[in-house]
Amino acid sequence: MTLPQSDRPADRIPRRQALRVIGGAAALPLLPEELFANAHLAHVHLHQQKPGGEPAPLTVLTEHQARTLSAIAERILPTTDTPGAGDAEIPGFVDRLLAGWLPDAARDHLLAQLDRFDDRCRERHPDAAGFLDLNESAQDELLTEAQDEALAERNDRAFSRNPNRLHEQPFFDLVKWLTLFGYYTSEAGMKSELGYRIVPGRWDPCVDLEDA
C-alpha cells in the first residue's frame, strides 16, 4: 500500500468531533423528568412524521391495478367495526415490493395474474370495466372462484412465503398473503385490530384479554 507522505500536527481530532459522536445522548440525563417526557414524545413524533403526508407515487402498478388490488384487499379483510384492508395502503406497499423486493419471476407472475383476474371479471360481466366496477356479491363470487382454484392448484401444499417460491403460489393465495401482511402491519390494522401502541409505557404481566 502506498500513501502520500506527510506530517500532521498532534491531536488531529478536535473536541467538537468527539462530542458530536455521543453528544446527542449525553445531553439527555440533565433534563428534568417532565422535560424529558416532552423530548421523548418529540422523538416518537419525529419518527411518526418521517414518511410525510402524501403517499409516494406508484412506480410499477398502474392506477387501475392499484385500485383493483385495494378493492380485492377490502373484500378479503372488509371494513367492520374496524377499518378494512382498503384503508391499509396495500397498493403502496405492494408497489414497493414490486419495485425493489420481489424477484423478477414473482413480480411478473403477480402482475400477469392480476390482469388475468381482471380480464376474467370482464368476461363474466361484459358491462363492467373490471373487478372495481362490480358489486360486492359479484366480487365475492369471483374471489371464491379464485380461492377454489388456488385450493386445487396447491393440492394440500402450504403457502410458502419464501421469496424464491412466490412465483409458484396461486394468485389468490399471493394476494391474500399480501393483504394479511399489509393490513396487520399498517397503521389502520395495527392500531385498530391489534391494539398496538408505539409506546405502551408499562408492562402488565396479567390482564384480561378483553382489556388488551
Cβ closest to another protein, residue 13 vs residue 127:
13
- In whole angstroms, give the CA distance from residue 62 to residue 77: 23
DSSP type of residue 57: P
Q: Which three cell numbers stand for residue 55?
A: 403517499
Q: What are the two backbone dihedrals, phi and then psi, of residue 12, each rounded to the nearest 5 degrees?
A: -75, -15
Cβ closest to another protein, residue 67 vs residue 96:
96
Cβ closest to another protein, residue 127 vs residue 187:
187
Q: Which three cell numbers stand for residue 99?
A: 419495485
For Cα atoms 84, 121, 176, give the angle at the middle one, nearest 5 degrees: 35
Name the minimum Å distance from CB 199 to another protein. Answer: 5
- In whole angstroms, give the CA distance from residue 90 to residue 182: 6
Cβ closest to another protein, residue 29 vs residue 126:
29
Name the minimum Å distance from CB 119 to another protein. Answer: 21
Name the minimum Å distance from CB 108 to another protein. Answer: 16
Q: Which three cell numbers stand for residue 101?
A: 423486493
Name the minimum Å distance from CB 106 to another protein. Answer: 11
Q: With beta carbons less than 8 A apart as the criterion, state whether 182 and 90 touch.
A: yes
Q: For residue 200, what is the enclosing H or E element?
A: none
Name the minimum Å distance from CB 138 to another protein. Answer: 14
Name the minimum Å distance from CB 102 to another protein. Answer: 9
Cβ closest to another protein, residue 126 vs residue 137:
137
Q: With beta carbons less than 8 A apart as the criterion, state whether 134 and 128 touch.
A: yes
Cβ closest to another protein, residue 7 vs residue 127:
7
Helix axis angle, 171-184 to 90-100, nearest 10°:
110
